[in-house]
Amino acid sequence: MSTQALLPVSERLAFYRRAANYIAVAMIYLQDNHLLEEPLKPEHIKHRLLGHWGTVPGINLVYAGLNRLILDTDASVLLVTGPGHGAPANLANLWIDGCLEDVKPEMSRDREGLGRLVRLFSWPGGFPSHIAPIVPGTIHEGGELGYALATAFGAALDNPELIVACIVGDGEAETGPTAGAWHSNKFLDPATCGAVLPILHLNGYKIANPTIFNSMSDAELTKLFEGYGWHPLLVQGEDLDGALAGALDTAYGEIRALQQAARGGSRPERPIWPMLILRSPKGWTGIRELDGVRVEGTSKSHQVPAMQARTKPEHLRALEEWLRSYGPDELFDDSGGPAAEIAAMCPTGDRRMGANPHVNGGRMRVALKLPGLEDHAVALEQPGASTDSSLGAVGKYLAQVFELNREQRNFRVVCPDEVASNRLGALFDVEDHAYEWPVDPQISPDYKPGGRIMEVLSEHNCQGWLQGYVLTGRHGIFPCYEAFIPIVDGMVNQYGKFLKMSREEAPWREPVSSLNYLLTSEGWRQDHNGYSHQMPGFINSMLNRREEHARVYVPPDANTLLATMEHCLQATGCINLIIGSKLPLPQWLSMEQAQEHVRAGASAWEWASNDDDGLPDLVLASCGTIPTIELLAAASLLKDDVPELKVRFVNVTNLFALAAPGNHPDAMSAGQFGELFTEGRPVIFNFHGYPSAVHQLIHRRPRQERFHVRGYAEEGTTTTPFDLLAMNGVDRFQLAIEALSRVDVGVSEFVRGMSGEFAVRNISGAQEAISKYREQLAEHRQYVREHGDDPPEITSWAWSGSRA
Amino acid sequence: MSTQALLPVSERLAFYRRAANYIAVAMIYLQDNHLLEEPLKPEHIKHRLLGHWGTVPGINLVYAGLNRLILDTDASVLLVTGPGHGAPANLANLWIDGCLEDVKPEMSRDREGLGRLVRLFSWPGGFPSHIAPIVPGTIHEGGELGYALATAFGAALDNPELIVACIVGDGEAETGPTAGAWHSNKFLDPATCGAVLPILHLNGYKIANPTIFNSMSDAELTKLFEGYGWHPLLVQGEDLDGALAGALDTAYGEIRALQQAARGGSRPERPIWPMLILRSPKGWTGIRELDGVRVEGTSKSHQVPAMQARTKPEHLRALEEWLRSYGPDELFDDSGGPAAEIAAMCPTGDRRMGANPHVNGGRMRVALKLPGLEDHAVALEQPGASTDSSLGAVGKYLAQVFELNREQRNFRVVCPDEVASNRLGALFDVEDHAYEWPVDPQISPDYKPGGRIMEVLSEHNCQGWLQGYVLTGRHGIFPCYEAFIPIVDGMVNQYGKFLKMSREEAPWREPVSSLNYLLTSEGWRQDHNGYSHQMPGFINSMLNRREEHARVYVPPDANTLLATMEHCLQATGCINLIIGSKLPLPQWLSMEQAQEHVRAGASAWEWASNDDDGLPDLVLASCGTIPTIELLAAASLLKDDVPELKVRFVNVTNLFALAAPGNHPDAMSAGQFGELFTEGRPVIFNFHGYPSAVHQLIHRRPRQERFHVRGYAEEGTTTTPFDLLAMNGVDRFQLAIEALSRVDVGVSEFVRGMSGEFAVRNISGAQEAISKYREQLAEHRQYVREHGDDPPEITSWAWSGSRA
């Protein structure tokens, strides 16, 4: 046993921290002489000093403390580091314990390896200054603050032996998503799930300003977190290593006691978990004062103190003094690797936080057992002959997913209180709501500790939980109101970046399950709501994401939705946006046809076309449930009134099938596209979302001007569906008028101008039909305003079932 | 004095609530017989029963209680109603007190007026079931939950006499944005601002499930809000009217005491404001039980109980009993207006909450006094000859805005802790940070109660505060990291809908100031950050919004930014997105040129063109600061190496200038567009954001295929700017290669295929130049990886200043 091992724990921890801090500082500043083997010179300093020192010493304090706890208890601990810009700290610890070397052998634990790490930090092709998927141990993109805590809970769910430590910075703590995530404790079951150990780290300052939490008194902080239902343990004072060790031991004891009680059958009414509130100075152990200004303990420590180290001698001197204050001579062995006493402070193998098996979720992932689609198919005698709720059907399917994977416990549904209202109620036949605090069992009989349906009126919590769950190798679905999913637009942006970087720069990460959104209560049928609940813009956001992982599905009926769901639950590495309707609506495809439709992405529906496999006068194309019904109704009108017109009916269920070849893996080839949409005939495209989404996608498709896209035009108020459709111009009458106007050379208003070039021939009866449709449109709108409901011709309309 | 007036206050309040509840229920169900003058029959029931009963009785309880407080104290009270679907409650009260009649005379306080209101609720062309701008007294769109509390704080700022009561539902309370907004108390100055009185309304259930807050014990709730720094007053029990009256009196007393102390010079260290926690049963006074299921006090009350009232006799009977339980005979006078005793429970004139003058912010608005642009112009000798920080310049301009409007106190800056880092530090020369809790005055000397720069690491709070401030007639700017503004994408969606509905359906609302975003720390220069901080998608979101209020400005230099800022601070009713760079960059336009450029939206820069006013071989168009620099550098390369090539240089500062005519008020006419971009020559468009934004906008512009848009391609990591530009293909070398390839018929790879049609002629030296640029690109990227910085040719590059 070395002399170090005989020292009190505080001193050993402080010694370890000297190494971690030294390496982190070297990373921020040095491109050479990283062991300070010669006096520091300007040319040793990087040209561009980019990084964030301020949060580093606090993360190192916690990292060292958790390592000590793991060594003492052999606990399985995963660390979620909220202060996103603390990457130098995490990387320093991961170099010391060898996790970095495991995934990047060139980052070896010797002079050369450390030199590479130091140089490649904040360097082109190297490590960014924030936590990112290329940092081992990471399940959380550290750029946009606010999501660490919810992500930590997602990782702890259904991992009963795991402790997820989560550092929440006092900057991040100001965000709404974090403020709401503290309530996640009420969803975590001590019997079947692991623990989350939050460490609220108060270093007092953000980029430029003091933090709210640091301005709160100890009494306020204690009350706040007790009110949230936690047991807060304050860690502060002179001996932070010792105080932290004590608090961690207490917390660990409380966690294990709670778990043992719950697992032994004596669950407390409210499981009160411990959490730590740690006060340490910003930039602790850094430069005290420079240029007459206080640095340590202020926001001046936030990024890079002594910024002019390359050009100003006094900055260079301050930096050298700072680095030497850690005693680099004692920190490394002869080969330039970590000194034995320092390496001994780290766990080994899978017990290292950076190597915790749950972090590489793709490797832990067990594929879901999925029900046979044939068991859930909606029967179809004739297209449109019967109605069914697509969401109702998928609810039964997902219920069976729960049943088939009950033993594995690797599937969850997260939702902002809309499972039942979105007709997924079948889920409650087989699974309960997760909830730990007492609720009235008479009124809410399906609320049980250990349930796996998580409903909370916080899209941020849903998203964070699901990210943590999926990134640790499990599966889930997020059903949400279509209009409100933009609430998590920022989170999904960052998650997309995490996937992109994982795929391209962290080959050791195996693919995780896809993140599945099931958007429903779609804008076109907002019965109890109105204009504020109409918002299809998340589709447009998906178009900004990388093609490798972005998918948008708009299945037209229940069987297509079921086949799409099966596909999405099997696919890895994607963000799947599935848009479906909860209302009973006509069904169009048999399961076999639906599966073929999903494979193709877009297909012609022969039973709704009358082009007799020849060249049609125009193409009617739909994408979405209600837009498909209206366009079929328009096709029906045209068939009756203008039988001479040859129409091909196309449905698009995979929006990215429209993308130009090379722009997306699901893009149709030029040949397929031309075969479906013809090479030059007009296309009336009736779309679920904003027309701009289609405009973007068909950019660079030949003669894209012939596509006339109808969709949501931000016109809406309290309306019946017909009225809403008419306001936006996607109703059957306006579509039929549009179709005739695009084709008939006799309809003068469209012949003029650019669009006229598509008018193909004289269609007899076109003018009369247009007049008739205009009248019907006006009459129907009048009816709606008088009766407060759609006219019977609309409500009782059904597809005739016969091919023209 | 009537006998009513002699009753105890609880009984009088209960009597008033009977009327408000009755009217609200009638609105949800009835299309006829609204005073129940005959027995209720199926034909009296609406065809579509759409609405939300559950939250109504609680809102009516609070509305009655606040009316009583106003009558007793003559306070100026504005109400923000968080439970968005409670519109029937608000409308009932607004009909009783005549606010509705004031803006919609047909909603008169008599039998006919009430009949119209009852029928038009949740009716095509009528009122939606959620709070919306057509409801008098509203400054908050009630669709997407989470923003009521922050909005209430925005309204209270700089309105010292105003009390903003804010009902927060226990559903909304679960959202992250609300959880974070409770900390707004730390920014509200009792001396110079009004008060916010939050009323957390626990009715226990959301759409389908119990709420978190209702599962918390009284002790937990008390601790939580004391921890947040509030004084919580619990209101519960049998006599809710009486308990609420007592609590409101207590709260009012505490508010006035706090204000008097602060205004009298004895400000407490932490101003602890009162807030109410009110427990009342969901659907209180509604149907107890139906079809053997409990309704009152459960989530079964959430929307429409007795949903089959039109078809099921027992539902109709239950509804009639319910309605008659309120005793409609006593509630109305002979004309069908509110009984005198009920009307007497309401304040009158401006004291009615629905008529509080601050609610119609456009009428209260005082235009800002703006500095002369000439005083802030950046001097320009030659284009590109000097560098300046655009944000630095605008910071000095905005500082003077603070000074010029100091007396009016009607301008604020909200920001997620980035004012200083975004080089707006000049603001602190003239204005302080708003903050009320103690901070270290040595470290943070510019933190003062009463300051008007509000920094918090919560984009949600910034957005909510600013919305409340602007909608009550004031002005503000929201500087934000470009990458993180999508955090509030959902809020801005809803704000856009509020503006659209205000403009089209609430003509009595006068236009408010525009909401101004100043996005900076833009993706192309993320020195301390990386891939996670690169995200221009908010531009795409703006393109989804209504053209009447969406504006996107991408000024290329300081003078153009200043002229844009002046325009935005004057414009009303818009959402202005301004993107600017904080870094010192070359300046291109004099103030006079900049003003002309802002007026035009897009202009040709003759000094950077060599088309000699003739038809160029191609157009180089830029939009954005860094993209402009790179494209000018490309133009410079081409000028030197391929002098024969005739190039026109265009800059777009108003993105919507590109939109097709008729699609946006700022769209260039076809003639202007053709004159600028030629009718058919290739255009290399170097864009700040995702290319898809430009693709959408130029859709339907003639021959749009000739536009070759370069922009952010989701390629990024830790890079120097040149490397980042090169990864995304917007660097000078790739742009120059692209330009030559599009024009020279000798460059074979682009001649094939669709694009080839634009190759116009043989350009001598094109092949050689392309080879040279490819080499330089490779060399520069190599240099970056070796040195961790841009090569000197890049860092020291400057526009030559001479016209070719």
Predicted complex ipTM = 0.96
Give residue B8's pLDDT band: very low, low, confident or very high (50, 70, 90): confident
Sign of CA dihedral A282, A286, A288, A293: negative
Give the closest residue to B198 by CA, choosing from B242, B174, B232.
B232
CB contact under 8 A, B719 and A124: yes
Give the closest residue to A514 by CA, choosing from A504, A536, A503, A499.
A499
Q: How far is CA A432 from the centre of its chain?
A: 24
Q: State both tokens at A225.
A: 């977190």
- Number of Cβ within 10 Å of residue A709's Cβ equals 23
User: C-alpha distances in angstroms, B115 versus A367, B306, B791?
Assistant: 60, 21, 76
End-to-end alpha-carbon separation of chain A, Å? 90
- Number of Cβ within 10 Å of residue B728's Cβ equals 20
Q: State both tokens at A13.
A: 């921890």
A486 Cβ under 8 Å from any chain B Cβ? yes
Predicted pLDDT at B608: 96
pLDDT reading at A308 higher than 80: yes
Predicted pLDDT at B142: 81
Name residues whose C-beta falls within 8 Å of residue A13's C-beta, 6 or more positions apart in sequence: A64, A65, A68, A241, A245, A345
Q: How far is Cα B330 from Cα A502, in angstroms, rounded to an integer? A: 70
Give the closest residue to B513 by CA, choosing from B480, B471, B546.
B471
pLDDT reading at A362 higher than 50: yes
Give the closest residue to A17 by CA, choosing from A58, A64, A72.
A64
The strand pairing partners of B438, in sequence order, are: none
Q: What is the dihedral of CA B544, B545, B551, B553, to 10 degrees?
A: -30
Q: How far is Cα A255 from Cα A278, in angstroms, rounded to an integer? A: 18
Considering only the beta carbons, identify the residue of A227, A455, A486 that sits closest to B493. Answer: A486
Chain A, nearest residue to B527 by Cα: A50
pLDDT reading at B717 higher than 80: no
Q: How far is Cα A136 from Cα B728, in angstroms, rounded to an integer? A: 27
C-beta separation of B402 from B450 below 8 A: no
Please give the backbone phi and psi of residue B474, each rounded to the nearest 5 degrees, phi first: -110, -165
pLDDT reading at A792 higher than 70: yes
End-to-end alpha-carbon separation of chain B, Å? 91
Q: State both tokens at B388.
A: 């300046």
Q: Which residue has the tokens 């850094």?
A: A286
Q: Which residue has the tokens 């640095």?
A: A295
Q: How far is Cα B744 from Cα A587, in angstroms, rounded to an integer? A: 54
- List all residues of chain B from 183 to 212 with a beta carbon under 8 Å from chain A: 183, 186, 205-212
For chain A, counts of helices (H) and of strands (E): 30, 22
Query: Which has the higher per-residue pLDDT, B357 or A720?
Result: B357
C-beta separation of A492 from A463 below 8 A: yes
Name residues whose C-beta falls within 8 Å of residue A746's C-beta, 6 or more positions apart in sequence: A762, A763, A766, A767
Predicted pLDDT at A461: 98
Pairing label, strands A575-579, A550-553: parallel
Please give the backbone phi and psi of residue A344, each rounded to the nearest 5 degrees, phi first: -70, -15
- Measured between beta carbons, the chain A residues lying within 8 angstroms of B537 are 489, 493, 541, 544
A85 Cβ under 8 Å from any chain B Cβ? yes
Query: Which has the higher per-residue pLDDT, B207 or A93?
Result: A93
Q: Write down the mean pLDDT value for chain A.
A: 94
Which residue blocks in A642-747 are alpha helix, DSSP H?
A: 670-677, 691-698, 721-728, 732-743
C-beta separation of A19 from A338 below 8 A: yes
Give the closest residue to A478 by CA, choosing from A542, A403, A411.
A411
Task: Report pLDDT digits (tens) over A17-55.
Answer: 999 999 999 999 999 999 999 999 999 999 999 889 999
Give residue B720's pLDDT band: very low, low, confident or very high (50, 70, 90): confident
Predicted pLDDT at A753: 45
Give residue B698's pLDDT band: very low, low, confident or very high (50, 70, 90): very high
Q: Which residue has the tokens 């602060």?
A: B262
B782 Cβ under 8 Å from any chain A Cβ? no
Chain B, nearest residue to A531 by Cα: B497
C-beta separation of A355 from A349 below 8 A: yes
pLDDT reading at B143 higher than 90: no
Average pLDDT over residues B704-712: 92
pLDDT reading at B264 higher than 90: yes
- Number of Cβ within 10 Å of residue B43's Cβ equals 9
Q: How far is Cα B652 from Cα B328, in angstroms, rounded to an integer? A: 64
Considering only the beta carbons, identify the residue of B143, B186, B460 that sits closest to A529. Answer: B143
A433 Cβ under 8 Å from any chain B Cβ? yes
pLDDT reading at A757 higher than 80: no
A795 Cβ under 8 Å from any chain B Cβ? no
Give the closest residue to B20 by CA, choosing from B69, B48, B53.
B53
Q: How far is Cα B148 from Cα B180, in angstroms, rounded to an integer? A: 12
CB contact under 8 A, A180 and B181: no
Chain A, nearest residue to B52 by Cα: A528
pLDDT reading at A1 higher than 50: no
B447 Cβ under 8 Å from any chain A Cβ? yes
C-beta separation of B649 from B383 below 8 A: no
Angle between helices A459-471 and A148-156 (to 10 degrees): 50
Task: Kindly state the helix (H) or strand (E) to which residue A294 belongs, with its residue range.
Answer: strand A293-294
Please give the backbone phi and psi of residue B801, each rounded to the nearest 5 degrees, phi first: 90, -15
- List all residues of chain A from 542 to 561 with a beta carbon under 8 Å from chain B: 543-546
Predicted pLDDT at B763: 87
| A352 burial via Cβ count (<10 Å: 0-12, 13-18, 19+) | buried
Q: Write down the mean pLDDT value for chain B.
A: 94
Q: How far is Cα A620 from Cα A638, in angstroms, rounded to an integer? A: 11
Predicted pLDDT at B803: 45
Chain A, nearest residue to B464 by Cα: A176
| A792 burial via Cβ count (<10 Å: 0-12, 13-18, 19+) | exposed
Q: Which of B116, B458, B527, B685 is best to mutate for the A interface (most A CBs within 10 A)? A: B458
Give the closest residue to A582 by CA, choosing from A423, A416, A387, A379.
A423
CB contact under 8 A, A718 and B206: no
Average pLDDT over residues B3-32: 91
User: C-alpha distances in angstroms, B457 versus A130, A440, B520?
Assistant: 17, 37, 16
Q: How far is Cα B181 from Cα A740, in angstroms, rounded to an integer? A: 54
C-beta separation of B719 from B739 below 8 A: no
Q: How far is Cα A68 from Cα A64, in angstroms, rounded to an integer? A: 6
pLDDT reading at A759 higher than 90: no
Q: How far is Cα A588 from Cα A594, in angstroms, rounded to an integer? A: 9
Task: Report pLDDT digits (tens) over A138-179.
Answer: 999 888 999 999 999 999 999 999 999 999 999 999 999 999
C-beta separation of A89 from A79 below 8 A: no
CB contact under 8 A, B122 and A456: no
pLDDT reading at A506 higher than 60: yes
pLDDT reading at B665 higher than 90: yes
Cα angle vertex B59, ends B54, B62, to 5°? 145
pLDDT reading at B753 higher than 50: no
Q: How far is Cα B502 from Cα B624, in angstroms, rounded to an integer? A: 32
Average pLDDT over residues B511-521: 95
The strand pairing partners of A652, in sequence order, are: A602
pLDDT reading at A376 higher than 70: yes
Which residue blocks in B326-360 are alpha helix, DSSP H?
A: 328-331, 340-343
Which residue blocks in A74-203 are alpha helix, DSSP H?
A: 87-96, 99-103, 111-120, 148-156, 176-181
pLDDT reading at A804 higher than 60: no
Average pLDDT over residues B98-102: 98
Task: Kindly state the helix (H) or strand (E) to which residue A352 belongs, with its residue range.
Answer: none
Smallest Cα distance from A345 to chain B, Å: 31
Average pLDDT over residues B87-107: 97
Task: Report pLDDT digits (tens) over A391-428.
Answer: 999 999 999 999 999 999 999 999 999 999 889 999 99
The strand pairing partners of B277, in sequence order, are: B200, B234
The strand pairing partners of B513, in sequence order, are: B572
Give the closest residue to A705 by CA, choosing from A768, A778, A755.
A755
Q: State both tokens at B649.
A: 């240089």
Q: How far is Cα A753 from Cα B682, in angstroms, rounded to an integer? A: 23
Q: How far is Cα B517 from Cα B496, in angstroms, rounded to an integer? A: 14
DSSP B660: P
C-beta separation of B435 from B186 below 8 A: yes
- Measured between beta carbons, the chain A residues lying within 8 angstroms of B44 are none
